[in-house]
Amino acid sequence: MPDTPEHASGYLLGHAALEQRRLLIQASYVRPWTARLLRRAGLTEGMSVLDVGSGLGDVAFIAAEIVGPGGRVVGVERDPAAVEAARGRAASGGYTDLVTFANADLSEFDPAGSGPTRQPFDALVGRFVLQYLPDPAAALRRLAGFLRPGGIVVMHDMDVSNTDASVPRCPLWDDCFALLSALFRAHRITPDFGRHLTRVFLDAGLPWPDVDSGAMAGGKAGSTVFTWLGSAVQAVEPLLGEAGIALPDGLVVDDGLVATLERAVRESHSMVLGNIHYGAWTRLQSVGLP
Mean pLDDT of 75-91: 94
Tell me, letter by letter, the H, E, C secondary structure of 28-97. HHHHHHHHHHHHHHCCCCCCEEEEECCCCCHHHHHHHHHHCCCCEEEEEECCHHHHHHHHHHHHHHCCCC
What is the DSSP track for the chain? -TT-SS---S-SSTT-HHHHHHHHHHHHHHHHHHHHHHHHHT--TT-EEEEES-TTSHHHHHHHHHH-TT-EEEEEES-HHHHHHHHHHHHHHT-TTTEEEEE--TTT--GGGSSS--SPEEEEEEES-GGGSSSHHHHHHHHHTTEEEEEEEEEEEEE---S--EES--HHHHHHHHHHHHHHHHTT--TTGGGGHHHHHHHTTPPPPEEEEEEEEE-STT-HHHHHHHHHHHHHHHHHHHTTPPPPTT---STTHHHHHHHHHHHHT-EEEEEEEEEEEEE-BTTB--
pLDDT tens-digit map of 36-53:
999 999 999 999 999 999
**What is d(CA 196, CA 8) in angstroms, rounded to the nearest whole number?**
13
Please tell me which residue, 30 or 98, carries the higher pLDDT value.
Answer: 98
- What pLDDT, on the 0 to 100 scale, is given for residue 7? 46
Q: How confident is the model at residue 119 (pLDDT cuts 50, 70, 90)?
A: confident
Q: What pTM value is reported for the model?
A: 0.87
- What angle do the packed helices 171-186 and 257-268 form, to 10 degrees? 130
User: How does pLDDT run across 147-179, given as a tens digit for each residue?
Assistant: 999 999 999 999 999 999 999 999 999 999 999
Please say if the pLDDT value at position 288 is more than 70.
no
Q: Which of 116-120, 137-141, 233-237, 259-263 has the lowest mean pLDDT?
A: 116-120
Position 114 scores a pLDDT of 52
Gap between the Cα atoms of 89 and 85, Å rounded: 6
Q: Can you give the pLDDT at residue 184?
A: 93
Query: 9: pLDDT confidence band, cut at 50, 70 and 90?
Result: very low
User: Which pLDDT value is given to residue 29?
Assistant: 72
In 3D, which of 72, 148, 135 has the Cα closest to residue 107?
A: 135
Would you say residue 109 has pLDDT above 60?
Answer: yes
Q: Give the chain's domains with CATH numbers.
A: 17-283 (3.40.50.150)
Q: How does residue 89 score in pLDDT terms, banded at 50, 70 and 90? A: very high
pLDDT > 70: percent of the chain: 87
Of 19-23, 139-143, 218-222, give the lowest mean pLDDT range: 19-23
Q: What is the pLDDT of residues 249-285, one digit of tens each?
A: 999 999 999 999 999 999 999 999 999 999 999 999 8
Residues 109, 139: contact at Cβ < 8 Å? Answer: no
- The more confident residue out of 23 and 102 is 102
Is there a contact between 128 and 51 (Cβ–Cβ < 8 Å)? no
pLDDT tens digits, residue range 13-28? 444 565 556 566 666 7
